[in-house]
Amino acid sequence: MTTAAIAPGGRIDEAKAFVPVRIAVLTVSDTRDRASDTSGQVLADRITGAGHALAGRAIVRDDVDAIRGQVRAWVASGEVDVVITTGGTGITGRDVTPEALTPLFDKTLDGFSVVFHMVSYQSVGLSTLQSRATAGIVGGVFVFCLPGSNGAVKDGWDKVISAQLDSRHGPCNMVELMPRLGEK
């Protein structure tokens, strides 16, 4: 069995099959459009580059109802396994992504925020305190909320999310849990 090192505490087992997941990207911004949505494009490129399916991509304004509406639609479609949002996790008055989505969480993934901030600290130092990155599960779909900067998106995907969405990652990963997320 061959393995390749990736993130601390984990390995990719090349003997296992890669299972692509369906990931939707939601950019939350009052100012971005498709042409200027660089963080959404970074995520889309990394998702498809890793072999996953880009199941949807949208831009909504910093508005609780708009954010919730798009995420609920993707969850209800049955065509999305994961939603990754970018933007709206800061501390200004218009930043409402956590307020929009945490009430929808069936379960909160507290460890995501901790690990994201550890990784982010290596890039931006104490400025990571200005991010309210969070994650949870909504109707059996993983939802990750990242800041809107390209650097934060790269850190979040490259150093945290991508390994957990790789079915070959050990000792465990989120892909192997997907069939069981709806258990009662």
Q: Quick one: pLDDT band at residue 161, thresholds 50, 70, 90?
A: very high
Count of C-beta atoms within a 10 Å radius of residue 104: 17
pLDDT value for 182: 85
User: What six digits make up the tokens of 132?
Assistant: 């309210």
The pLDDT of residue 124 is 95
pLDDT value of residue 56: 98
Instruction: Tell whether the model's pLDDT for residue 1 goes beyond 90.
Output: no
The yes-or-no verdict on residue 8 having pLDDT over 70 is: no
Mean pLDDT score, 19-30 = 97
Domains along the sequence of the chain with CATH: 20-176 (3.40.980.10)
What does the pLDDT average to over 58-84?
98
DSSP result, 64-126: HHHHHHHHHHHHHHT--SEEEEES--SSSTT--HHHHHGGG-SEE-HHHHHHHHHHHHHHHGG
Tell me the longest C-alpha to C-alpha distance in the chain. 51
User: In this structure, are residues 6 and 12 in contact, taking their beta carbons and an 8 Å threshold?
Assistant: yes
Q: Are 148 and 27 contacting, i.e. CB atoms less than 8 angstroms apart?
A: yes
Q: Both tokens of residue 110? A: 């507290």
Tell me the average pLDDT across 100-114: 97
By the 8 A CB rule, do 98 and 128 touch? no
Residues 91-95 have a mean pLDDT of 95
Mean pLDDT of 80-104: 97
pLDDT band, residue 183 (cuts 50/70/90):
confident
Torsion of CA 43, 173, 146, 142, to 10 degrees: 100
User: What mean pLDDT is predicted for residues 157-168?
Assistant: 96
Averaged pLDDT score across all residues of the chain: 93
